[in-house]
Amino acid sequence: MTTFKAFWAEKTEDGYTHSIVERSTDDLPEGDVLIKVAHSSVNYKDALSARCLPGVTRNYPHTPGIDASGQVVSSMSSDFKEGDEVICIGFDLGMNTPGGFGEYIQVPAGWLTPLPDGLSLRESMVLGTAGFTAALCVEKLERMGAAPDDGPVVVTGATGGVGSVAVALLAKAGFEVIASSGKADKVDYLKSLGAANVIGRNELQEENARPMLATTYAHGVDTVGGNILSNVVKSLNYGGSVAICGLVASPAFQTTVLPFILRGVNILGIDSVELPIEEKTANWGRLASDWKLDNLDNMTQEIDLEGISTAVDTIFSGNVSGRTLVTHN
Ligand code: NDP
């Protein structure tokens, strides 16, 4: 039995409270593999869970953290042994299973990816679920045949975690990236990640009753939903695709069938949570090799457990810029 520190979110009559508490590895749920967590990161879902909001965590008190990387302490699975470095994202981690905002997690072996050569534990969590999801978006666009010669690719919510990594990955793959952002002061940041051009979020935000708009983008990565996604779909070139993964603005969007039947456009759904572990592992492998980003530090703030509450506030204020890495001391 080992004691450790964990972020602890509790429901109260008027909402929530949070603290850093001491826990014991005996408190963790049964699982094949006990891991000493080196790093986690702060994602949109962690913000919901940390504030006891609906949609992620059913039972409180709870330790959020949908991402973790660290070292195996003990394992009942022959696939992992003491000292192995591993990544755990998605499945139930941090949702109803105590997550990476604690210094230890215990999980099924089937949730784990061995840390691939070429990626450090730290880099894996700078990417975290958000970066991993950005990679899934790029991979699915590629599978649809998207190529740099097709024309510009728009990324919405571009300064966010998913958006920042999507901008960087698409630029690395040779695409001309148009970053859509609500933050006028982040043009230089987005260009440092590889954006060719930055447009204001308001350009895409207006509700528009027309079923189609002038063709502007070859493809897109949408992290926000709502009117912005509606307008992206209506603005895709013939045969264009948009990978959709998020709902920061709204889970709803409006379209008619016209862009689909007159321009042959495609909507590609992205889920990082229940993606089978073999596909997760393959995707991590690409992030460690041909998709390895050398500008991760440009998009990273590093905090410890004490910094999580402020990071959560930043998410809800829409002021996120890049990724927030959590490092356990
Ligand atoms: P962040 O909080 O890091 O970034 C969201 C970005 O959205 C902000 O930085 C901002 O960028 C933009 N934004 C904020 N408020 C609004 C608004 N009201 N209208 C339009 N845009 C807004 O979130 P993530 O990047 O981590 O996640 C993005 C979305 O993707 C979330 O909905 C998340 O739940 C989802 N997600 C889904 C996954 C999946 O498996 N499908 C996995 C990971 C995330 P800017 O100012 O530049 O416009």
Q: Atom 39 in ligand 1: which residue has the minimum CA distance?
A: 271
- Write out 217-243 in H/E/C secondary structure: EEEEEECCEHHHHHHHHHHEEEEEEEE
pLDDT, tens only, 155-168? 999 999 999 999 99
Residues whose beta carbon lies within 6 Å of some atom of ligand 1: 43-45, 129-130, 133, 157-163, 181-183, 201, 223-224, 228, 245-249, 270-273, 315, 318, 320
pLDDT at 329: 81
- The DSSP secondary structure of 69-87, one letter per residue, reads EEEEEEESSTT--TT-EEE
pLDDT, tens only, 70-95? 999 999 999 999 999 999 999 999 99
- Nearest to 241, CA basis, from 227, 221, 257, 212: 221
Instruction: Please give the Cα distance from 255 to 239 (Å, whole number).
Output: 16
pLDDT, tens only, 107-141? 999 999 999 999 999 999 999 999 999 999 999 99
pLDDT, tens only, 171-191? 999 999 999 999 999 999 999
pLDDT, tens only, 180-233? 999 999 999 999 999 999 999 999 999 999 999 999 999 999 999 999 999 999
Q: Which domains does the chain have, with CATH numbers?
A: 3-115+295-327 (3.90.180.10), 130-269 (3.40.50.720)
Instruction: Please give the Cα distance from 181 to 100 (Å, whole number).
Output: 29
C-alpha 247 to ligand 1 mean position (Å): 7
Residue 183's contacts (CB-CB under 8 Å, 6 or more residues apart) are 159, 319, 321
Task: Compute CA 308 distance to the chain's CA centroid, rounded to the nearest angstrom.
Answer: 16
Backbone angles phi, psi at 143, to 5 degrees: -65, -30
